[in-house]
Chains A and B, each alone.
Chain A
Amino acid sequence: MTQRAKLIGGLAVIALALAYMIYAGVTQSAVYFVTPAELKAGAVSGKAYRLGGMVVPGSVKWDPATLDLAFVLSDGAATVPVRHKGTAPDLFGEGRGAVVEGRWTSDGYFKATLIMAKHSEEYRAPHESGGSAYKDLMKTLSGSDAK
């Protein structure tokens, strides 16, 4: 066998191995993006999804003692209850967009392992109510904290 043939053979083996690794990697770690309506239409429990929607105002329930976070995601057409263990990211909030990664459970809720809040580069225009809320928060904190 010539060196060139060996070389081409070796490259073919590597290419095949790589193709297999990529194929296996994709099938094992593909995550489907769905909206609440799409999830409701045909969710397979146990399969990994990324669910995107708006956090329904008034739906967020947070228990600091157990770190249980529950909220509802909506796309206008359907709503999905989501549960998560742990603090939400800073950008998470009611009325804002959020993407959660996790699995649909047979108990009728989406168990999120990761919450990604939508980051927007645009800042809101400054307005009075926002500013005074922060001042209020600061007053509470500095007044009660035993420094």
Chain B
Amino acid sequence: MIPEIGYGALVAALLLALYGTVVAGVGGRTGRAAFVESGQHAALGVFALLTFAFALLTYAFLVFDFSVQYVAANTNRGTPFYYRITAVWGALEGSIILWAWMLSMYTLIVILRHRRHARELYPWVLTVMLSVIAFFLLVMTIPAPPFRRLSPVPADGRGLNPLLEDSGMITHPVALYLGFTGFAVPFAFAMAALITRRVGDAWITTTRRWTIVAWYFLSLGLLIGGWWSYHVLGWGGYWAWDPVENAAFMPWLTGTAFLHSVMIQERRRMLKLWNIALVVLTFSLTLFGTFLTRSGVIASVHAFTQGSIGVFFLAFLAIVVLTALALLALRWDDLRGQGELDAVVSRESMFLLNNVMLVAAAFTVFFGTIFPLLAEATRGVKVSVGAPFFNSVNVPLFLGLIFLMGVGPLIAWRRASFQNLVRNFLWPVIVGIAAAAVFRLLGVASTFAVLALALTVFVVATIAVDFARATRARRRLGERVLPAMGGLLVRHNRRYGGFVIHLGILLVTVGVTGSQAWSVQDELTLRRGESTALAGYRVRFDGLAASEESNHFKVTGTFTVTNGRGRPLVLSPAKKFYPRDQAPIAYVDYRLGLREDVYLVLGDFARDGSQATVKLQVNRLVSWIWLGGVVLTLGTVLAILPERKKAT
């Protein structure tokens, strides 16, 4: 029965979402509250039905209802309990239902928060949100139904892709989709602003927190994806410029640009058109990413099911972009900015430059990702550009962005005088240059590494200068040091939340730089009892052992790692053999450290356990990336706290 009930619920939700789209629009057009209210009820109904459908699918996984094709394809009786829950969104159909459910949840929050404010915009926001949900429901009823019946019902399912049996897979898709769907809210507000010709700042101030939250989840999704790649895939890296990664990175770049450019509109009434364009672009890129990865037009290491779903996404993407362009054309006259750029050396222009560079980076990633398609279409050759392309073009852009991260928040609005520049940047520049010299003397060979680290020091110095100056000002009013600092964080939480987020990004920068510049690796075959040395570590191979787990069996190598101080460390990288899978799966073992990680991957081995090939890596500063994620979280929480009114 589950397939039929589930399918029925989704069809009902689709009809209700379509009804709500229309009726809320009529409400917006006529201004009759009864229509808007009816649309609101429809949205609540959609949320209830999607919640029910999602719960039903989860239930089907928990009780192994293999009459549901999707359950049979992604689980089997050996799948451990909590991987049965994550298997719900382990493949295409389930991730679409999760996506739609999150959208309906966001719609619910929009209703709760904004139904009494933003009266003119609200009905249209509802219309846009519901139409996006309706699209996803359409996908779930035609090309990718999660509740397709499988008959005859098999005795056991095929099982989850073993690579997805990892805790990172619980949180990574959830965070990523919360980020993707989160951008639907500012998009809906922007569309509503265009429709109602209220393109002023209301939609931006209303959606500021939404944008930060969406941006945060997207960042978190990317970082957790990197962590999953690092500790599951066993190649020792966290980012490969794979199309799927790029698909998530592009909206992050444009979303970051949007996060900054809204500040100029709030403050200077400039960039109205640009902001709407950016939010449309960001939302479109989340759809484009799905199209790219699910349509099979670009080969990727991420093996996803392919099907007609790509066409649906492409069509919807076209509708979104064309509608937005048409609205922009209709409202062209309303979109003129009131402010003017006064001087090139000013905060406005620094933010503008930041935006240009972020969008340029997004364009580069876009270009590199679709390059194989372009080359095939224009020159008929199969050619692609890999990591060297993305690195060579993006690294200079990112270095420029880090520089601006130091300059932007401190430089004066409108026109920065020479005194203003000296006052803010003299010390940070001196400290930055000194840091570059020190890193050079310490033997950092790569120019990019020296630049990245020196710029990081420069930005930290600007934040320190700002914070120290503000603290001093409060101390003059008679506050003590610590309360003064705490007061600053609370009273100006938005500004200092932003600074903390910047510090998080800097930690990620240091981690990326360090791991690129200083990681070392070796690969060799060791006989039992034999040892090898790498970067101050001695690694001894002690033997192999086999064990049977619930749904696979495992060959584990034991290695003793010593570095002259401290207790010896035993690492046990393994290979997991899933009876139904084509090949074994490496199970990495590692010890994380602030300075460096020791990372072992078991390669080939002799069946009698006499020797094993091992890949041994000492990865430098990688943990700083994950630490950056933690700091990012703190900064986001600080930034979205309600702003306090005037000091007591």
Contacts and interface: CB of A to CB of B under 8 A. Distances in A.
A binds B: yes
Interface of A: 3-4, 6-7, 10-11, 14, 18, 21-22, 24-26, 28-34, 50, 62, 64-65, 67, 86-87, 90-93, 96, 101, 116-117, 119-121, 123-126, 130-131, 134, 137-138, 140-142, 144-147
Given A32-B382, A62-B604, A64-B604, A90 B546 contact: no
Q: Which 10 pairs of residues, A with B, have the shortest CB-CB distance?
A: A87-B603, A33-B382, A29-B388, A141-B546, A29-B389, A64-B525, A25-B389, A121-B303, A145-B609, A144-B608
B607 interface: yes
Contacts of B341: 3-4, 7
Contacts of B371: 26
A71 B352 CA distance: 54
Contacts of A67: 523-525, 613
For the side of the interface on B, what is the size category? 35 or more
B386 interface: yes
Contacts of A93: 582-583
Interface of B: 158-159, 161, 301, 303-305, 340-344, 349, 352-353, 356-357, 360, 363-364, 367-368, 371, 381-386, 388-390, 392-393, 396, 523-525, 543-546, 548, 553, 555, 575, 577, 579-586, 603-604, 606-609, 611, 613, 615
A96 B383 contact: no
Nearest to B304: A121
Contacts of B305: 121
Contacts of A116: 301
B523 A86 contact: yes
A11 B356 contact: yes
A134 B555 CA distance: 11
B611 A50 contact: no
A41 to B, nearest CB: 13
Contact of B367 (A22, A50, A137): A22
B385 A31 contact: yes
A55 B226 CA distance: 31
18 contacts: A7-B352, A14-B356, A18-B393, A25-B393, A29-B389, A30-B384, A30-B389, A31-B385, A33-B382, A87-B615, A93-B583, A101-B386, A117-B583, A120-B582, A125-B580, A126-B579, A141-B607, A144-B608
Contact of A25 (B360, B392, B577, B586): B392
A22 B383 contact: no
Instruction: Pick the most buried of A6, A31, A101, A125: most chain B CB atoms within 10 A of its CB.
Output: A31
Contacts of B607: 137, 140-141, 144
B383 A21 contact: no
A38 to B, nearest CB: 9
A29 B611 contact: no
Contact of A147 (B343, B353, B357, B545): B545
Contacts of A147: 543, 545
A62 B383 CA distance: 30
Nearest to A139: B546
Contacts of B303: 119-121
A146 B385 contact: no
Contacts of A25: 368, 385, 388-390, 392-393
Instruction: Pick the most buried of A14, A90, A101: most chain B CB atoms within 10 A of its CB.
Output: A90
B304 A119 contact: no
A140 B553 CA distance: 13
A58 B296 CA distance: 32
A119 B301 contact: yes
A126 B613 CA distance: 29
A91 B581 CA distance: 10
Instruction: Pick the most buried of A14, A64, A67: most chain B CB atoms within 10 A of its CB.
Output: A64
B374 to A, nearest CB: 10
Given A31-B385, A33-B384, A67-B613, A6 B344 contact: yes
A21 B392 contact: yes
Contacts of A120: 303, 582
Nearest to A131: B579
Given A3-B342, A62-B604, A31 B386 contact: yes
B453 to A, nearest CB: 22
A50 B382 CA distance: 10
Contacts of A124: 580-582
A20 to B, nearest CB: 10
A39 B127 CA distance: 55
